[in-house]
Chain A
Amino acid sequence: MAFDSFSAFLVMEGHGPYVWACYGVFFILLVTMMVWSVRRHKAVIEYCRRGYEFRAGRSGQQVVRGAPAAFTRVNVSQD
């Protein structure tokens, strides 16, 4: 270890704030970018799945709607 104590490691002879600010921002941005990319990947998979379900549902409805395509006679009195 290049430092005598843990507090000396944190202070780094007065350069601590500069060094830790850099490492802090580096890790925050790196982790955010990784997590964001994973979440977007999952969101896109979910988006595709919904698209397939929507299209499957719509084509299914068409089949159902197509079947009873018959006129119903309604008797309305003309008097």
Chain B
Amino acid sequence: MWQFFHKLGSPKWFFGIATRLMPWLLAGGILLLVAGIVWGLAFAPRDYLQGNSYRIIFIHVPTAFLAQSVYIMMAVAAVVTLVWRMKLADVFVKAVAPVGLVLTFLALFTGAVWGKPTWGTWWIWDARLTSMLILLFLYGGVIALDRAINDEKSAARAVAVLVLVGVVNIPIIKYSVEWWNTLHQPATFKLTEKPSMPADMWVPLLLSVLGLYLLFGWLACLRMQTEILLREQRTRWVKDYVTAGRG
């Protein structure tokens, strides 16, 4: 167990594993995402209440879902950074924060465009939408704070604290549709219940969620590798890797 933990902290070991995983993540991610989206756009039945505008769900839910789980992953990594000072955890936070920012923006954008034909408005300051906007600012804050501090170790610690403070927002997003009166509909998927929609709708949705997860995995691996190369450029193995002409 400790040996595994120790290995996990080694950038070189991670670099090798990521290189082997990445082709599978990319291929699987594109395949599942395209399958889910084509099925959802062209073959899923129309919604009896919302008509065809509901087809935005096949990208809105995956982006919103991932935007929140990326933040939770960052929070776990932040704890690891603060408690065990593991370098890779900080590399993860730094590598995925911009991805989280883009995903949150996409969730907000697709939500706004879906809101117009469904609710009659692009934006409303209700609990779910506002807490998602705060998540966007949190991602922005993490990126800005990391760039503002030159010293790597101080930046890692400050960013970890900010990420942990911001994690209080996640349950607020999750339960906002239950705690307050909101225009937003309740969760589409619940772990404890069967989906209330027909299989023709939830299967493509599940496919696109999984596809986007895999693509995020690919992006995270690639961006972490970039960061590792930058940080470890003085080490022997990075020099060997770069000069071996793998670029």
The verdict on A18 contacting chain B, using a C-beta distance below 8 Å, is yes
Chain B, residue nearest A11 (CB): B52
A30 to B225, CA, bound (A): 19
Partner of A18, one of B45, B53, B98, B215: B53
Out of A18, A30, A45, name the residue touching B117 (CB < 8 Å).
A18
Asked if residues B59 and A22 are in contact (CB atoms below 8 Å), the reply is yes
Instruction: Determine if A67 is an interface residue (Cβ-Cβ < 8 Å).
Output: no
| Contact yes or no, A23 B59, CB < 8 A | yes
A interface, over-half SS: helix
Interface residues on B, range: 35 or more
Contact B46 A48 (CB under 8 A): no
Contact between B246 and A12 (Cβ–Cβ < 8 Å)?
no
Chain A, residue nearest B111 (CB): A22
CB distance B114 to A18 under 8 Å?
A: yes
| Inter-chain contact total with CB atoms closer than 8 Å | 98
Q: Which of B105, B110, B218, B229 contacts A48 (CB 8 A)?
A: B229
Contacts of B233 on A, CB cut-off 8 Å? 48, 51
B99 contact set on A, CB distance < 8 A: 33
How many chain A residues sit at the interface, stated as a range, is 20 to 34
Judging by beta carbons under 8 Å apart, are A38 and B59 in contact? Answer: no
Partner of B226 from the list A22, A29, A30, A44 (CB cut-off 8 Å) is A44
Q: Which residues of B contact A54 (CB under 8 A)?
A: none
Interface contact B242-A23, CB-CB below 8 Å: no
Interface residues of A in 17-47 (CB under 8 A from B): 18-19, 21-23, 25-26, 29-30, 33-34, 37-38, 40-42, 44-46
Write out the residue numbers on chain B whose beta carbons fall within 8 Å of the beta carbon of A45.
229, 242, 246-247
- Chain B, 102-136, CB within 8 A of any chain A CB: 102, 105-106, 109-110, 113-114, 116-117
For B40-68 the 0/1 string (1 means CB < 8 A from A) is 01111110000111011001100100000
Question: Could you tell me which A residues sit within 8 Å of B by CB distance?
Answer: 1-3, 9, 12-13, 15-16, 18-19, 21-23, 25-26, 29-30, 33-34, 37-38, 40-42, 44-46, 48-49, 51-52
Please give the residue numbers on chain B whose beta carbons come within 8 Å of chain A beta carbons, in ascending order.
37, 41-46, 51-53, 55-56, 59-60, 63, 98-99, 102, 105-106, 109-110, 113-114, 116-117, 215, 218-219, 222-223, 225-226, 229-230, 233, 238-239, 242-243, 246-247
